[in-house]
Structure 1
Amino acid sequence: MIYFYIISHVLGDFYLQSQELSDYKAVSRAGVRIHNIQYALAFMMVMILRIVILRNLSAILPDFILTLIFVSIHATIDIIKFRVTKTAYYKNIPYSKLDYKLKRDRFVESTRFDFFRKIAMNDIPSNDSKDKSSSSGRKPLAPITIFGIDQFCHLFSIVAISLLARNIYGYSFNPELSGYDFQVLLRMTLAILLVGKPANVLIVMLTERFDPKTTKIDEGLAGAGARMGTLERLLSLLFLSQNLVSGIAVVFTLKGIARYKKISEDAKFAEYFVIGTFTSLLIVFIVYLFIL
C-alpha cells in the first residue's frame, strides 16, 4: 500500500501542480489552498483505482481514513512551510503586491478550471507586515533546502503512517491477479513518475547556480530541454531494467550531438551541460537502486 500512497503524493505534489501554481502558492494562502485541493483529488483518484483493483469493500473505510490523514498532514506541512518561508524562493525579489499580483495573474491565465480561477481572483494579499520582505537579517533558506525538508516531511509521514496502519489493520497489498506481480508494477510506475517532473524540478534546483544564463530564445524550442531530460532518464531507466547498460551511452551520445555546437563554443555552458547530465544520470541510478 505504501507504493500507492507515494504514487498519489508524486501525482498531487508534482504532476497536478503547474509551475504557475507553485509560484503563486509561495506568496499566497489561496495558492496553498488550491494546491491542497488538487493534492486531495490525486489521492482520491488513486484510492478509487485501488478499490477497483482490490475489489475489497471491507478496506474502503480504513483506506478513506488514511487518505484523509495523508491529505490533512500534507496541508499542515504546506501551511507551516508557507508561514515559515514566505518569500524564501525569491531571495532577491522583495515581497510586494505587484509581485503577488503577477504570480496570481499567471496562475489565473494558466488554469483550466473556473473553480480555481475564482478562488485566485477573490484572493486579497495580506497587509500583515510579516508577509513582506523579511527585515530580520536572517538569510532565507535556499530553495533546494526547502524542497528537501518539505519532501522528507511528506514522505516520512506517508511511510510511517502506512506502516503503523498495516500493524493496526493488517493492511497490506499483495494481490495476485492474472499472474502479474503488482508490487513490481507499482514500483515501475513510481520509478517512471520519479524520473519525470520531480527529477526535472530537482535538477533545476541543483544546477541553477551553474547556469550561465546565455541561452537565447531562438536557440531552441521552449520546454524542449526539460522534455529531452525526461526522455533520456526514461530510456536510461528502461535500459538499466533490461541490463542494457550500453544503451545509456547511446542516449547520452545523442544528447551530446544535439548540443555539440553550443558545447564547443561556450565553455561555461559545457560545464553546466556536464553537471546537469551527470545529475540526471545519478537520479536514474538512485531510482533504479532504491525503487526497482
Structure 2
Amino acid sequence: MLTSLLKMFIAHLLGDFVLQPKSWVEKRKTQIQYLFYHVGVHAALLILFFIQDLAGNWQNIVFLVAAHLAIDSIKIGVESRWSINPIRLFVIDQILHIASIVAIYFYWTPSALTDFIAQVDWNKVCLIIIALILVIFAIPIVIRVFFSKWQKEDAFHTKRAETLFDAGTVIGIMERLMILGFVLLGLNEGIGFLLAAKSIFRFGDLTNARDTKFTEYVMIGTLLSFGLGMLVAFGLKYCLSIL
C-alpha cells in the first residue's frame, strides 16, 4: 500500500508542477475549462499509475480527483474575492492536497496510522516544533525589539526603504533554519560556510554604502540572528540527546 501512496504523490507533483502550463494557472481564474483541463491531467495520471488495478483503486482516484477539483475551486474563489498573500495561499493549497492523499492512504490502511502514531516519539516532536516556532516567529520579534531603540534614526529608515519589504526577516528565517538543519545533521562547519557566504554577498553592499551605521546594523543583525539560531539549534540537539 505504501507504493500506492508514493504513486499518488508522484501524480500530484507531476500534475501540479510539471504538466500544468503557466497559462492554465492564469486562465482558469476566469475560464473554468482550464480548471477542468488541470484536473483531467491529474485524473489521467492517476489512471495511468493504477492501470494494473483500476478495479481496486477507482474509489481512490474518484476521491482524489474530486478533492483536487474542490480545493482548486475554493482557491480560485478566495483569490477572486480577497487579497491574500499568494505564498500563504499556495502553501495552504498544497497542504490540503497532500492531506487528501494522506487521508485516503490511512483510510484504506488504518493499521499504518496506528503503527505510525505508536512509533513517533512525541516528546521529540514537541521539542522540534518549539524550536521551529522560536526560529521562525519568536527570534524575529526579539531582533525587532532589540533594534527598536534605533528606529527613530533617519539612516535606519532610509536603508530599510531601499530594500525589499521584509526581505531581511525572510533571509534571517532561512539562515536560522539552515543552522538548525546543520546542527541536527552534525554539519557544524556548514554554519561557517553560511556566515562566509552571507559576508561575501554583503561585502559589496557595505563597501558601496560607505555608511558606518548601515555596516553596524548589518553586523549586529547578522551576529544576533546567528547567535540566537545557534543557541536554539544546539539547545534542541542537547535536549534530543537526553531523551
TM-score normalized with structure 2 length: 0.45
* TM-score normalised by the chain length of structure 1: 0.39
